[in-house]
């Protein structure tokens, strides 16, 4: 399919990532409450965590894509399955996922997305999650979703992303990243921004970034409660050419980065 025919796909992907990001914000806020973590986080067989947000985002994205593009030939590759969520001992967790999904979908129309006529039942939610079991491949069209990329950061209250892409015949056609905790303003990188909006209503953290194959551009929209903004900001490579003034980013998890090496490198470069 030609790039110019991706208008509906791009629009839907951006809007559903906005909606999914709003779900993540609410779930993460609940994780900060005392004694709430155990009911919203579960360990996989490899001991990595999975949360209400992981299943909730997957259910929302799957349901919306099926409504817009039809579910019969829809191929979605995603991370989570329904096996552990379907067990009797996970009834409370499934209830939490159901509550989060239906709360988010009740606001879908404000994001310009289809809204269910009535709250989805647990069977429908499990079906939506299970729809994301495609194995993908080099042929055909596949939506690829990581519902919460960086679950450890999510649980910790730190950085994570909702990542959605569309691949056709092995080529990435579009990509969308929802980053609810990413600092929109430069001063927040060092000082931190604990609120979603500033005193004047300007967003200080949280954004959705997206790009389309062949456009040569990438865009960013602020993440605002209850809907999608009408405008977007063109993303540009930083004009800083002095390494002393550069901002260095690295993974928080020690397993994913050599912090000692990075510290030595930045020190030798004189990075402030």
Q: List the chain pLDDT tens, one digit each, 272 residues.
A: 444 669 999 999 999 999 999 999 999 998 877 655 555 676 665 546 789 999 999 999 999 999 999 988 999 999 999 998 999 998 999 999 999 999 999 999 999 999 999 999 999 999 999 999 999 999 999 999 999 999 988 998 899 999 999 999 999 999 999 999 998 766 565 555 554 544 434 567 899 999 999 999 999 999 988 889 888 999 988 888 888 888 788 887 778 889 899 889 888 888 87
pLDDT value at residue 205:
87
Instruction: Quickly tell me which residue has 């791009």 as its tokens.
Output: 10
Domain boundaries of the chain, sorted by first residue: 3-236, 238-272
46 carries a ligand binding annotation: no
Q: Considering 12, 54, 82, 204, which one is annotated as catalytic?
A: 54
Topology at the third CATH level for domain 3-236 = Fructose-1,6-Bisphosphatase; Chain A, domain 1 (3.30.540)
Q: In what order do the strands lie in the sheet with 141-149?
A: 76-78, 141-149, 161-168, 171-183, 205-212, 218-222, 233-234
Rounded CA separation 206/182 (Å): 5
SS3 108: helix
Query: CA of 91: how far to CAs of 38, 59, 63, 88, 135, in Å?
Result: 14, 17, 21, 6, 28
* 241 CB-contact burial (10 Å; exposed 0-12 / middle 13-18 / buried 19+): exposed
Q: Considering 151, 158, 204, 241, which one is annotated as catalytic?
A: 151
Q: Is 54 a catalytic residue?
A: yes
Span 85-140, pLDDT tens digits: 999 998 999 999 999 999 999 999 999 999 999 999 999 999 999 999 999 999 99
Q: Is 81 a catalytic residue?
A: no
11 carries a ligand binding annotation: no
The chain-wide mean pLDDT, for the chain, equals 87
SS3 40: helix
pLDDT value at residue 199:
41
End-to-end CA distance of the chain: 47
pLDDT value at residue 19:
98
SS3 41: strand
Read off the pTM: 0.87
């Amino acid at each position: 399919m030609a790039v110019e025919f991706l208008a509906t796909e791009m629009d839907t992907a951006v809007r559903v990532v906005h909606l999914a990001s709003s779900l993540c914000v609410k779930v993460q806020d609940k994780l900060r409450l005392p004694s709430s973590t155990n009911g919203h986080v579960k360990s996989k067989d490899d001991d990595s965590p999975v949360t209400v947000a992981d299943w909730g985002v997957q259910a929302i994205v799957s349901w919306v894509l099926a409504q817009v593009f039809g579910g019969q030939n829809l191929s979605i590759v995603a991370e989570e399955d329904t096996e552990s969520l379907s067990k009797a001992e996970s009834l409370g967790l499934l209830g939490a996922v159901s509550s989060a999904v239906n709360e988010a979908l009740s606001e879908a129309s404000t994001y310009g997305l289809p809204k269910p006529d009535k709250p989805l039942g647990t069977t429908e939610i499990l079906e939506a999650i299970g729809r994301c079991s495609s194995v993908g491949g080099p042929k055909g069209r596949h939506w690829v979703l990581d519902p919460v990329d960086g679950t450890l950061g999510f649980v910790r209250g730190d950085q994570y992303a909702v990542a959605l892409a569309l691949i056709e015949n092995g080529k990435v056609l579009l990509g969308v990243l929802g980053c609810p905790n990413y600092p929109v303003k430069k001063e927040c990188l060092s000082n931190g921004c604990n609120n979603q909006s500033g005193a004047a209503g300007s967003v200080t953290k949280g954004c959705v970034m997206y790009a389309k194959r062949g456009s040569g551009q990438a865009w960013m929209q602020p993440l605002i409660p209850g809907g999608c903004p009408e405008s977007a900001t063109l993303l540009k490579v930083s004009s800083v050419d002095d390494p002393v003034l550069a901002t260095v980013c690295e993974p928080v998890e020690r397993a994913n980065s050599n912090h000692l090496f990075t510290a030595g490198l930045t020190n030798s470069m004189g990075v402030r």
